[in-house]
Amino acid sequence: MDEVLEVVELAADAGFEGVFVWLFRLLGAVLVLAGLGLWLLADFGLLWLPAILLVVGVVLAVVPSLLLSLVELTG
């Protein structure tokens, strides 16, 4: 966990925090849309795959901003 915080702190110091957060938000949105598309449009019984895509997409959309907030509070 310390390595992740160091990378986030380095990105924040370099001024890339906005790009970092929006890149992961975009990736998270794509994964959420892919999960919703598979769930609503596909006709197969593997419902765990869309659920995993939805959860990973939401996590990717939320975690980077939380990590940057944590770095600001501790640093």
Residue 73: the pLDDT is 80
Q: What is the pLDDT of residue 21?
A: 82
Render pLDDT for 32-42 as a digit per residue (tens, 0 to 9). Answer: 999 999 888 88
pTM score, whole prediction: 0.73
Confidence of residue 14 (pLDDT cuts 50, 70, 90): confident
Q: Band of the pLDDT at 1, cuts 50, 70, 90?
A: low
What are all long-range contacts of 57-62, with beta carbons under 8 Å and residues at least 24 apart?
Answer: 57/27, 57/28, 57/29, 57/30, 57/31, 57/32, 57/33, 58/28, 58/32, 59/28, 60/24, 60/25, 60/27, 60/28, 60/31, 61/24, 61/25, 61/28, 61/29, 61/32, 62/28
Q: What is the mean pLDDT of the chain?
A: 83
